Structure 1
Amino acid sequence: MYKSQLFLAIAATLVVSGAANAFDGDSSNTSNVAVGVSTVNAPPFHYPNRAGIAVNSSGLTNFVDFESLKNYGSSNNSTVDWGTHTVYELNFPYTGAPEDHDNLGVFSFAQAGDGDVWFGEWSAYGTSDATRTVYYSGLNEDTSIPGSISVPVEATYNVVGINNYDPTSGGNLLSGQFDATFYGVTGTLTGDIENASGFNINIGNATISATAVISSSNAVASDTGGTLASSGTVSGRFFNSYADLAGIVDFSGTQYDTAFGGSVAD
């Protein structure tokens, strides 16, 4: 179902509830990375009350907004299934950064849709080290879902995934589509994303709760040689009246953990 059809279905079947600009997010390792509403207020460099991130070296309660962070890193447009997608990379220390920022680590993140919804990965020294953590962070979460058991609402999302991001090889982004079926009190989300090397994440048969939370415990990571990891935990959410989604897939260890985000297909 295309975006305009989804919105018409929502208008016909649902009165959207929930606090405006409410936050949701998750991290695969909360000792390394926390997500929350930004608290650092230092215009014009950082602003409060946006989707934010905090890392252990600067204090896990000092949330910095992604909207500002993207201005200090490099951006790369990587080819995916439906065109291009931009990933922002910020590797500390960088020229001009304050000295107390030297140990803030390596950030690779992207935006889901046009709203204040972000997903990505962080590590202390680079993607291959054991501190690698995936996360999502967003405002304007949805807290109910459209449709009914007798008249479900269906939607397809264009989704990208970040796993061991490498800008020198075209970003190594995963991409694909997730299919959502909303029944008002529950729902399902299925699909997979894959990169040019054949690395694939299948989220399994994920459940959508009545409050628009995405969850699963049967995600699978694979490549052209077969299964790499199974029983991955999916954690995610819908945002902006179901226009966008974001989440993470967490396996045992860190190598195959993946952050994902996307928007309703046009």
Structure 2
Amino acid sequence: MNRTALALVISSAMFAGAAHSATFVGTQSDSTNVEVGASTVSAAPAHVAGRAGIGGARGKVDFQGLSNYATLNQGIHQIGNPHGGSSAVYSFAQVASQDIWFGEWSSDGNFTDRTVYYIGEDDVNTSVPTTGTASYNVKGVNHFDGTNALAGTLTADFGAQTLAGSISNASLKIEVDAFVNSSTASFSGDAIATAGGVDTFGDAQGHFFGADAAALAGIATFAGNSQHDTAFGGAKQ
């Protein structure tokens, strides 16, 4: 789907007026251009209101529907031209076949203006253990061009209430050292981005989803260099 077609879909949300039954948790690094939240576009069969979605002030379109228009590389759905141009680029991935998504929006394929985000359904079945450990196979998105997804492992120690590990590609490594809040099924803490031998310090935040924290998604943001901002997510091994 090109930028014009996607804009028309999102614009149509202002007329949707559909009720939403699900609630979601998630955030974005910058809400100037896009935000995540419950989708408002209802245009069956392509789009359904009330799912995890993305859009602007006029409304949001669901990721599940958008994935039908996208190309898929390294498990990342992509709409737009990742190699530079005038069209906005949407790169997003689903976690564990659930309504959980993370990704990156760029004003163009040159990533001059970009936002990373995550969102997932705040399911009543979500629970976080208070003992034991779990490892998560995690994928990340940063300046995604179809070939450079980040990958690695994050390990939760629920007794110690920590989440730590890293994801990386050939040019960037993101380390996470976070505190787990089992009562809110969330995590927050420190992040370090390493690129070209230089470390940049920032923040990590996110949520667990599903019974016994079956999946997670979040973002790492860096005030010192927002080009290192990265979205990530994954399922328990």
Counterpart-to-counterpart distance in 2, 1:180 and 1:26:
21
- By how many angstroms is 1:21 displaced? 4.7
What does residue 89 of structure 1 align with?
A: 78
What does residue 161 of structure 1 align with?
A: 140
Alignment root-mean-square deviation, CA: 2.0
- By how many angstroms is 1:32 displaced? 1.9
Amino acid of the structure 2 residue aligned with 1:68: G
Bigger Cα Rg: 1
What does residue 16 of structure 1 align with?
A: none
Alignment of 1:1-266 (within 5 A): 21-54=22-55, 59-76=56-73, 78=74, 86-91=75-80, 105-129=88-112, 131-141=113-123, 144-147=127-130, 152-167=131-146, 171-183=147-159, 187-195=161-169, 197-203=170-176, 205-209=177-181, 210-216=183-189, 218-223=190-195, 225-230=196-201, 232-241=202-211, 242-252=213-223, 253-265=225-237
What does residue 6 of structure 1 align with?
A: none
Counterpart contact for 2:101–2:118, Cα < 8 Å: yes
Counterpart-to-counterpart distance in 1, 2:187 and 2:110:
26
Structure 2 gap segments, 5+ residues each: 1-20
Structure 1 gap segments, 5+ residues each: 1-19, 79-85, 93-102
Ranked by relative contact order (alpha carbons within 8 Å, sequence separation 6 or more), the top structure is 1
Counterpart contact for 1:143–1:211, Cα < 8 Å: no
Per the normalisation by structure 1, the TM-score is 0.73
Counterpart contact for 2:22–2:50, Cα < 8 Å: no
Counterpart-to-counterpart distance in 2, 1:132 and 1:45:
26
Counterpart contact for 1:249–1:257, Cα < 8 Å: yes
Counterpart-to-counterpart distance in 1, 2:92 and 2:227:
17
- By how many angstroms is 1:127 displaced? 4.5
Counterpart contact for 2:23–2:38, Cα < 8 Å: no
Residue by residue over 1:83-114, the C-alpha shift from the partner in whole angstroms, topping out at 9 and shown as x without a partner, is xxx1111017xxxxxxxxxx872100111111
Counterpart contact for 1:192–1:202, Cα < 8 Å: yes
Amino acid of the structure 1 residue aligned with 2:115: T
Per the normalisation by structure 2, the TM-score is 0.82
Counterpart-to-counterpart distance in 1, 2:40 and 2:132:
37
